[in-house]
Structure 1
Amino acid sequence: MGIYAYQGRDRQGNKTKGQVNADSRIGAVTLLKERGIAATEVTEHQKTMLNKEITINKGMKPRELVVFLRQFSALLEAGISVVKAVEILEEQTDYKQLKQALDSMKDLVQEGESLSLAMERHPNVFPPLVVHLTRVGEVSGNLDSAMIRLADYFEKRYEMRQKVISALTYPVLLGVVSIAVLNILLYMVVPQFTSMYASSEQELPQLTKWVIAISNFSVSYWWVMVTIILMVLIALYFLRKKEPGKYYIDYAILKVPLLGSILQKTLLIEFSRTLSSLFTSSVPILQSMTITRNVLGNAVFKKVIDESLQAVEQGNSMTAPMRGEWPFPPLVVHMILIGEQTGNLDVMLNKIAQFYEAEVEHTTDRLQTLLEPILILFLSIVVGVIVLSVVLPMFGLYENINL
């Protein structure tokens, strides 16, 4: 999906311009025609330094989005019109991108454009899921309920991600401190003792020789290690730009012990929660699966969902391609199949999300409990070995002095 900027005229002959999400320029023109806009110019939105502020931010901050949706639904429930609600929120928000978007939306809605179309003109602020469920709410006349449902969805998504981040923050911080301590020892402490031992002609213990060799290599060839790390990062960056490369990198990440399992469960939660929200809002199944696919950022999951989309288009169950695919455990496949057979797919998907939310919470708690002592023990052993290698030759020097 790309972002296309357009200029044209609406059904009333008024000049209009904005942005639209589409797979291609032709797709953008077709989409604009369906909305009654005769496009005179359609260009792909280029990611340059001139529009960096627009393109770098891929969306509103999750917390800001939740607050906006909660406030919007409260205003609508209070009987305030959409235009007035947008105006109130535009006046009170401090978030620059949202303020600009609401200012533009206020004028568009006053001119008769629907709220969902006005939102769609600002893809860097409002995710596609917000646009689609807003459109469903407008059609059904339950816009306030749609906003509440969206707020619940994004709030649960935000809370789950925060739990994972908070669980991993301390181990990552401890890992960074460990690397810093090791570098200080190898680059600053060990070389000082090396010069001292070089002046004495005694035979050094094998452990001390190994540590000195590692220290000498680190001091002399640090640029080699930095170059290798940079080359690996650059290679990974360009690999992720290509579809096959992104798939294999995402596959490898999912296979990382412990962390890969947490990520897999988090993706299953997003898949189930998104699809359930769309089904609850009566969005057609093919459209729901397409939106869900675009919400997930993992290429491995996207591949399986693409195959499920093809199966549904052919009149088969969406679970057929999922069977035997390790990203989707048998529990998930069976529950989705039961949901399809009973007509309660949205309920079953919601149960899947709840189940894995509890699983992720327990796993992150256990991971945090286990990783902390393991990392501390590892750091203690490594530092202890380095200190021991430095201290051991001192006993020899002391004995020589006494003799």
Structure 2
Amino acid sequence: MGLFLYQARTGKGELQKGRFEGANSAEVADHLLAAGLIPVDISALPDPVEFNLGEVLGKNRAQSIGIVELQLFSRQLHTMLRAGVPILRALTSLRETSINPGFSRVLAEINDGLGQGRELSMCLARHPKIFDSFYLSMIRVGEMTGRLDNVLDRLAVHLDFERRAREMVKGAIRYPLFVVIALMVAMLVINLFVIPAFSKVYAGMNAELPLMTRFLIATSTFTREYIHFLIAGAGVALLGFIGWKGTDRGRYNWDRFKLRIPIVGKILRKSALARFARSFALASKSGVPILQVLTVVAAVADNRYYADKIGNMREGIERGESLLRTATLTGVFTPVVLQMLAVGEETGELDNLLQEIAVMYEQEVEYEISTLSQQIEPILITALGAMVLVLALGVFLPIWDMGSKTFGH
């Protein structure tokens, strides 16, 4: 028996945390499902005496399953079910052909659970780190409606979108982050090596230096004398930021701040809206009730700020308000999305209209990222120009003054 930490959501989407003693994570998952909870995360507390870091890291590497592999699994299982292959035989075939040993073990456990009479959704729920609440909710709907193969096909399309969205967002952030780091490194090199070389030359002149030169020399001297404290302070600040971002409130504020960053913020907002629209359309088209739709969409949101706003929408609908009104009160949806929500509620074509919104915003995100370098170039040129101007004035003004005095005499 071991002690496990778990996180699970109620039928209303509320997050619950606690501890449970069991033989393995599967037993804990069964206990949570029997209590009407959807497992989100189950992790074992290691024994401090027998804990082996190398074994744990090796096990995690073997069992790491990316979104591409999950997408491939959904697509292959959909194809085999549509062809009439029994699900036990299909999972056996997928387990035998899987190149990931960790995923093979997971498929073997799922197959064993199905052989014992459990539903597929219950077997998948034993592995919350692989199959999230959105995936589980869709599988459960497919089982209830008898359209599991169609749901798996839509999940494969959805996972492909998620993969592309994450890659696009990472691509949007990578370039400006590289530019900022390059500027910081350039400033550090100038302060540590360039300015000290010139300050030795000016020291022998016994002349009053211009304000800009004195400022550069003072900055360089401070950097060289306190470089260790600056590095230690930066490290402490980084660790503090990581710890703060790991809290619920910190993650909420950070995700909200990212949306306000110039240029990058609008890409993140459009990506979040595309993810909301596609997830909502997929769940709604599969027959998921509206309240459960908002619950799973909030869970799959990659931004805590948007997830909180979507949760507010669910609470508003529970009070009897319309979807359009609750969406308007959040203040995070564009007029185009609100218009589509209004028309969708009136015509009953909400899922199709949101699908169109998702495609539109995906195309806009791709366009914004393709032109990102053009948008950042003016900022980069301005920053580099300002840095060169300050450096040139600080270095050459004393020489200019000396020449003026020499020719003046």
The Cα of 1:274 is off from its aligned counterpart by 0.9
For 2:134, the equivalent position in structure 1 comes to: 129
The Cα of 1:125 is off from its aligned counterpart by 1.2
Are the counterparts in 1 of residues 281 and 350 from structure 2 also a CA contact under 8 Å?
A: yes
Are the counterparts in 2 of residues 6 and 17 from structure 1 also a CA contact under 8 Å?
A: no
Are the counterparts in 2 of residues 167 and 368 from structure 1 also a CA contact under 8 Å?
A: no
The Cα of 1:364 is off from its aligned counterpart by 2.6
Are the counterparts in 1 of residues 259 and 266 from structure 2 also a CA contact under 8 Å?
A: yes
CA separation in 1, counterparts of 2:94 and 2:360? 36
1:186 is the counterpart of 2:195: no
For 1:323, the equivalent position in structure 2 comes to: 328
For 1:100, the equivalent position in structure 2 comes to: 105
The Cα of 1:290 is off from its aligned counterpart by 0.8
For 2:256, the equivalent position in structure 1 comes to: 251
The Cα of 1:29 is off from its aligned counterpart by 5.1
CA separation in 2, counterparts of 1:197 and 1:57? 61
Q: Partner of 2:35: helix, strand, or coil?
A: helix
Q: Any residues of structure 2 matched to 1:235-384 within 5 Å, and which?
A: 235-384=240-389
Q: Given the alignment, which residue of 150, 171, 174 partners 1:169? A: 174
- Which amino acid letter does the alignment assign opposite residue 364 of structure 1? I
The Cα of 1:345 is off from its aligned counterpart by 1.7
- For residues 267-290 of structure 1, give each alpha carbon's deviation from its aligned partner in whole angstroms, at most 9, with x where no partner exists: 111111111111111111111111
CA separation in 2, counterparts of 1:312 and 1:123? 28
TM-score (norm 2): 0.81
Are the counterparts in 2 of residues 116 and 135 from structure 1 also a CA contact under 8 Å?
A: yes
For 1:221, the equivalent position in structure 2 comes to: 226
1:56/1:382 CA distance change after superposition, 3 Å: farther
Q: Partner of 2:27: helix, strand, or coil?
A: strand
- Which amino acid letter does the alignment assign opposite residue 356 of structure 1? Y
1:2/1:387 CA distance change after superposition, 3 Å: same
- Which amino acid letter does the alignment assign opposite residue 113 of structure 2? L
How many residues matched? 384
CA separation in 1, counterparts of 2:184 and 2:349? 51
Q: Partner of 2:324: helix, strand, or coil?
A: coil
Counting aligned pairs with the same residue, the percent is 28
- Which amino acid letter does the alignment assign opposite residue 135 of structure 1? R
1:20 is the counterpart of 2:29: yes
CA separation in 2, counterparts of 1:394 and 1:119? 74
Q: Any residues of structure 2 matched to 1:48-127 within 5 Å, and which?
A: 60-127=65-132
Are the counterparts in 1 of residues 65 and 103 from structure 2 also a CA contact under 8 Å?
A: yes
CA separation in 1, counterparts of 2:22 and 2:131? 21
CA separation in 1, counterparts of 2:20 and 2:108? 18
For 1:39, the equivalent position in structure 2 comes to: none
Gaps of 5+ in 2: 1-5, 9-18
The Cα of 1:96 is off from its aligned counterpart by 4.3
- Which amino acid letter does the alignment assign opposite residue 249 of structure 1? W
RMSD: 3.4
The Cα of 1:264 is off from its aligned counterpart by 1.7
For 1:209, the equivalent position in structure 2 comes to: 214
Q: Partner of 1:2: helix, strand, or coil?
A: strand
1:151 is the counterpart of 2:174: no
The range that moved more, 276-285 or 137-146, is 137-146
The Cα of 1:391 is off from its aligned counterpart by 4.2
- Which amino acid letter does the alignment assign opposite residue 20 of structure 1? A
